[in-house]
């Protein structure tokens, strides 16, 4: 037997009976007993408050083939599905096709059923819905409860979350509850052709190093995926999907955290991560006035203004516009790095941009190493010319 119960430590509390998805444990004479339907999934081992259930390490390997399907955990905001969820569906579709699995969307919340057509049109073969008013947006414990239970029931092979603040709060709790691996903030996902393992690539050391991580022996394989990196599919309104309505009990203890108030930012909230174009400035901009050229260029292009830590510390831009390790990570279509030398702390937050234009007076600035187009010159002269040239280029169209 892979799983054994230490009778001296077992208190007969029955927690493991509830934890077992396969009904393999019963209480006899105030002690837990495991029968031979046990799959050695290990759920009971984690659940035991007395540490009385032990598992042999050799049997940690779960029977991988029993786990099927790629799941995308949808995230709602203001009653709407967030863009990052559609991105997950786009990337999940490719994984599911390669693995020969179904792509399933998991939507939990009030009126979750209303999102089914959208999920189907965006690539899902199956949509799981849970409707419960207790599943408020951003509530970690109730969501952790229902998602963990659904995973135990349905046994998906892959579960993807968005690496939003909510996803990054939620996914670790589920990984701990199910004792499975979780890779944070992935920027690339693929499938190992031979083993069918999910290969999860993420930046480490502020993006200076990429690490590819996998979980060979446990299922599901879970990742949080950086928003703005994956591409959503074009919507196919005719596509239908199977709908499965699930129901799980949310325990009173899952509602322990109470939100008393949300103090909204009164100022225009900058969301650099969703910007298509960013015009960013660094030390070389030199002053708050210097940023005016950047603001003008940004306005012309419908872009957001961003900057380095120095630009924030000098008070030239506000902190919510900081790009880099201690600011936001962005990957827009087009990134202008103006007067930015390209310290690794900054690069780590923007190196994923599709096209990078660098303007710097130092021809040896490291930023040129990652730029697609480098302009060597004084940004205070170059940017006004850029504004002029872009206006001209547009007028001839």
d(CA 165, CA 162): 9
Minimum Å gap between C-beta 227 and other proteins is 11
- Is position 234 an interface residue for other proteins (rule: CB under 8 A)? no
Nearer to other proteins, 241 or 353 (CB): 353
Candidates 85, 112, 183, 241; binder of other proteins (CB under 8 A) is 183
- Is position 23 an interface residue for other proteins (rule: CB under 8 A)? no
- Is position 322 an interface residue for other proteins (rule: CB under 8 A)? no
Show contacts with other proteins in window 323-352 (CB under 8 A): 325-326, 333-334, 345, 351
- Phi-psi region for residue 78, left (φ > 0), alpha (ψ -120 to 50) or beta? left
Nearer to other proteins, 38 or 243 (CB): 38
User: Nearest CA to 310 among 279, 294, 288, 334?
Assistant: 288
- Is position 217 an interface residue for other proteins (rule: CB under 8 A)? yes
Tell me the sheet residues that pair with 281: 307, 338
Other CB atoms within 10 A of residue 260 CB: 4
User: Nearest CA to 285 among 374, 380, 219?
Assistant: 380
| Sequence-distant (≥ 6) Cβ neighbours of residue 265 within 8 angstroms | none
Minimum Å gap between C-beta 330 and other proteins is 15
d(CA 371, CA 233): 28
Show contacts with other proteins in window 52-91 (CB under 8 A): 54-57, 60
Choices 30-38, 117-125, 199-207, 228-236 (CB under 8 A): range interacting with other proteins: 199-207
Show contacts with other proteins in window 236-295 (CB under 8 A): 256-265, 269, 271, 277
Minimum Å gap between C-beta 113 and other proteins is 26
Candidates 95, 150, 180, 230; binder of other proteins (CB under 8 A) is 180
- Is position 13 an interface residue for other proteins (rule: CB under 8 A)? no
d(CA 339, CA 293): 12
Candidates 29, 65, 394, 395; binder of other proteins (CB under 8 A) is 394
Choices 97-105, 241-249, 279-287, 379-387 (CB under 8 A): range interacting with other proteins: 379-387
Q: What one-character-per-residue DSSP string does 100-139 give?
A: T--EEEEEEETTGGGGHHHHHHTT-SEEEEEE-TT--TT-
Minimum Å gap between C-beta 68 and other proteins is 19
Show contacts with other proteins in window 84-143 (CB under 8 A): 138, 140-141
User: How many residues interact with other proteins (rule CB under 8 A)?
Assistant: 89
d(CA 193, CA 190): 9
Minimum Å gap between C-beta 386 and other proteins is 4
Nearer to other proteins, 123 or 332 (CB): 332
- Is position 215 an interface residue for other proteins (rule: CB under 8 A)? yes
Minimum Å gap between C-beta 250 and other proteins is 14
d(CA 278, CA 383): 14
**Is residue 50 within 8 Å of 44, Cβ to Cβ?**
no
Minimum Å gap between C-beta 247 and other proteins is 23
Candidates 14, 23, 79, 216; binder of other proteins (CB under 8 A) is 216
Candidates 179, 196, 295, 314; binder of other proteins (CB under 8 A) is 179
**Is residue 74 within 8 Å of 106, Cβ to Cβ?**
yes
Show contacts with other proteins in window 148-177 (CB under 8 A): 164-165, 168-173, 175-177
**φ/ψ (deg, to 5) at 144:** -60, -40
d(CA 16, CA 28): 13
- Is position 185 an interface residue for other proteins (rule: CB under 8 A)? yes
**φ/ψ (deg, to 5) at 74:** -75, 145
Minimum Å gap between C-beta 69 and other proteins is 19
Choices 27-35, 97-105, 239-247, 370-378 (CB under 8 A): range interacting with other proteins: 370-378
Eight-class DSSP state of 286: -
Q: Classify residue 155 as exposed, middle or buried by CB count within 10 Å of its CB (0-12, 13-18, 19+).
A: middle
Tell me the sheet residues that pair with 277: 334
**Is residue 123 within 8 Å of 248, Cβ to Cβ?**
no
And the tokens for 294? Answer: 């950047």
Minimum Å gap between C-beta 64 and other proteins is 12
- Is position 214 an interface residue for other proteins (rule: CB under 8 A)? yes
Q: 3-class SS at 375? A: strand
Nearer to other proteins, 237 or 302 (CB): 302
């Amino acid at each position: 037997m892979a799983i054994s119960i230490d009778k001296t430590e077992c208190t007969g509390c029955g927690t493991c009976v509830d934890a077992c998805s396969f009904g393999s444990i019963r209480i006899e004479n105030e002690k837990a007993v495991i029968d031979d339907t046990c799959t050695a999934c290990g759920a009971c081992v984690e659940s035991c408050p007395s540490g009385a259930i032990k598992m042999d390490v050799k049997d940690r390997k779960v029977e991988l083939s029993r786990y099927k399907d790629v799941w995308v955990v949808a995230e709602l905001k203001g009653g709407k599905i967030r863009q990052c969820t559609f991105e997950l569906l786009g990337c999940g579709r490719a994984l599911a096709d390669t693995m020969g699995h179904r792509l399933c969307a998991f939507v939990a919340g009030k009126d979750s059923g209303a999102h089914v057509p959208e999920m189907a049109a965006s690539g899902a073969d199956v949509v799981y819905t849970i409707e419960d008013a207790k599943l408020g947006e951003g509530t970690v414990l109730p969501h952790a409860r229902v998602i963990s239970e659904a995973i135990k029931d349905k046994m998906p092979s892959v579960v993807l979350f968005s690496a939003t603040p909510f996803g990054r709060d939620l996914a670790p709790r589920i990984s701990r509850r199910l004792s499975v691996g979780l890779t944070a903030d992935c920027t690339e996902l693929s499938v190992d052709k031979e083993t069918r393992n999910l290969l999860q690539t993420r930046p480490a050391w502020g993006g200076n190093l990429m690490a590819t991580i996998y979980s060979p022996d446990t299922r599901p394989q879970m990742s949080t995926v950086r928003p703005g990196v994956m591409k959503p599919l074009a919507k196919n309104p005719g596509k239908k999907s199977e709908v499965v309505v699930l129901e799980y009990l949310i325990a009173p203890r899952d509602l322990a955290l109470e939100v008393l108030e949300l103090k909204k930012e009164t100022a225009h909230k900058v969301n650099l991560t969703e910007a298509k174009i960013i015009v960013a400035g660094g030390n070389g901009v030199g002053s708050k006035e210097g940023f005016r050229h950047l603001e003008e260029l940004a306005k012309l292009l419908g872009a957001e203004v961003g900057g380095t830590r120095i630009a924030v510390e000098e008070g030239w831009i506000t902190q919510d516009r900081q790009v880099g390790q201690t600011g936001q990570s962005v990957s827009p279509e087009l990134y202008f790095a103006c007067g930015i030398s390209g310290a690794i702390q900054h690069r780590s937050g923007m190196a994923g941009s599709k096209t990078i234009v660098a303007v710097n007076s130092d021809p040896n600035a490291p930023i040129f190493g990652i730029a697609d187009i480098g302009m060597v010159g004084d940004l205070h002269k170059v940017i006004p010319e850029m504004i002029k040239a872009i206006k001209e280029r547009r007028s001839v169209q």
